Amino acid sequence: MGFTQGTSRALQQIGEYQNRQKPVPVTPATSGRSSDLAREPQEQQKPPAKPSGGDGGKGSEGCWGLVGKGFATALKYEKQLSEYASTIPYAGMPASRKFDNIMGIPHAHGHPPNAPPPPPQPLPSAGPILPIPYVSCADKTLINGSSAARCGDLGASVWCGSYAPVIEVFMGSASVWIESARAARALDVTNHCTLKPPKPTTDPAIYLPVGVVASGSGNVFIGGVQMPSLMGLALGAAVKTAAKAVRIGLKAAKQVAKTGYLAGRAMINAALKRLARNSTFFTLLRFQRFARIVGDEAFKKGVMADLKKIASTKWGRNKLNSLANKGQRLEIKSVSSIAPDRPMMPIDDLPKGPCAWPDNFNCQPKYVDAPNSPWWDNRGRNVLPMPDSPGPGSGSTVYYDPGQSTPLYSGGQKFGDAPSDVTLAHELNHADNFAGGTYTPLHNRDGNWNKQWSDLEEFNTVQNENAYRGERGLPYRPKYF
């Protein structure tokens, strides 16, 4: 409340200043005769020159003039209402000035130095009335050489422990006014810790945060029953309402901006998707936004060279875009970075060779028991994958070395090679299955089948590898091993 009353007084004084004509300077007469004292002001009273400009002074001065007139009108009605209260008998009290003391009822706050331990310990709330230009204490009215204090003036408490220890003179005289505000006297009621700190901090006072002006002039007494500033109360309510409206407006604007941002991002992503279907450049652009290549510059350049080959094919663009759409974590590292004690996986191509490693091995589709199914899981159950029932997706790490062909062996005999881009395409297919929750490490009961394939996951992945090989003009891979 003190802040709003101080703000209203500042606006009021600015408006009154703009409306007020400049006083006529009076120079003391050299002869000291009364005729000279009377004549010199008349000679100096000249019509004020109109300000330059075509608006006749109705620019900023006119605007602040209207503000001043509005406050003057409100103050006029408040004085009229106060006349009824001024008839109530009330003893004259010492007039208050700047730096006069304010004493409050001890109260606490829910943090040090008041707490812990519970319950919070109340501390005194005391401090001086502070002179703040346009906000607190009279600018021109002096009482015993000190600026007069009024209703709405502010002070500071240095003891209660508040984050914002602001004190406000809440009451003043109903019949005596000093520079458009009620005169403050000793024993006038004060509010303590009225200024709220910025959010998200909250600092409410525990117990009653009120007090009184504790000192004043010893030879100047002001009467009139205590009253608050009605204009300050009204302006405070208006400011709260306006602030609430501003907060609602800002929240709505933020939501609109967020909606616009999300819509714009969705449009950009949709445009990138459309472009990526047929563009190597945009496919790699989308892929690089989420995939991370870990290694030195030579390793990164080699990986990008293989990714460009993959993205130059329709199968490759679809696979890289599928990974980008799923958005799971993906890192590409050298085989040399595999931990020496890492256990083998069913989908390892060679011991400590190129492979894909999921973050979570539960990224498998849902299975249904099928006694006649040729497929069995790691627990020996005959199962079938349920269609369109993927499990939870998982991020993964792909290990391979660019520029190095992977030899393919069967029964100890080499039957082919996989260039490094083919190896990367093979492992990225595994990563895509991990990300989509379609990893299927199922085994087959057919002994002949098991001689060529380790599990259903590798069977499906080699079929995808062959689709890529076909677009690259490379020989097909007939088996996994």
Distance CA 335, CA 56 (A): 83
228 and 298 part of one domain: no
Please state, in angstroms and as integers, the Cα–Cα distance from residue 393 to each residue in 278, 322, 367, following that order: 27, 13, 16
Instruction: Confirm whether 40 is domain-assigned.
Output: no
Q: Which residues contact 346 (CB under 8 A, 6 or more apart)?
A: 441, 454, 455, 457, 458
Task: Pick the last residue of a domain from 275, 306, 323.
Answer: 275
pLDDT for residue 385: 86
pTM (2 d.p.): 0.47
188 and 319 part of one domain: no
113 and 239 part of one domain: yes
76 and 91 part of one domain: yes
The torsion defined by the Cα of 155, 156, 159 and 165, in degrees rounded to 10, comes to: 120
**Nearest to residue 191, comparing CAs of 213, 217, 215?**
213
Range of the domain at 161: 1-24+53-275
Instruction: Confirm whether 477 is domain-assigned.
Output: no
263 and 289 part of one domain: no
385 and 461 part of one domain: yes
91 and 217 part of one domain: yes
Burial of residue 437 (CB within 10 Å: 0-12, 13-18, 19+) is buried
Instruction: Confirm whether 69 is domain-assigned.
Output: yes
Instruction: Confirm whether 253 is domain-assigned.
Output: yes
List the structure tokens of 202.
């909250």
pLDDT for residue 22: 44
Task: Pick the last residue of a domain from 250, 275, 300.
Answer: 275
403 and 436 part of one domain: yes
Task: Pick the last residue of a domain from 244, 275, 306.
Answer: 275
Q: What is the CATH number of the domain that holds 449?
A: 3.90.1240
Instruction: Confirm whether 359 is domain-assigned.
Output: yes
176 and 319 part of one domain: no
CB 115 within 8 Å of CB 126: no
CB 97 within 8 Å of CB 216: yes
211 and 346 part of one domain: no
Residue stretches of the chain with pLDDT short of 70: 1-65, 67-68, 196-203, 272-278, 341-352, 411
pLDDT for residue 262: 84
Q: Which residues contact 354 (CB under 8 A, 6 or more apart)?
A: 335, 399, 400, 401, 406, 423, 426, 427
190 and 329 part of one domain: no
Distance CA 421, CA 304 (A): 10
Count of the separate structural domains present in the chain: 2
Helix (H) or strand (E) holding 272: helix 230-278
Instruction: Confirm whether 240 is domain-assigned.
Output: yes
157 and 73 part of one domain: yes
Instruction: Confirm whether 39 is domain-assigned.
Output: no
End-to-end CA distance of the chain: 82
- Strand ranges, E, within 334-478: 355-358, 367-369, 375-376, 383-385, 396-399, 406-410, 413-418, 443-444
pLDDT tens by residue, 292-317: 999 999 999 999 999 999 999 999 99
Distance CA 284, CA 316 (A): 10
CB 160 within 8 Å of CB 109: yes
Instruction: Confirm whether 36 is domain-assigned.
Output: no
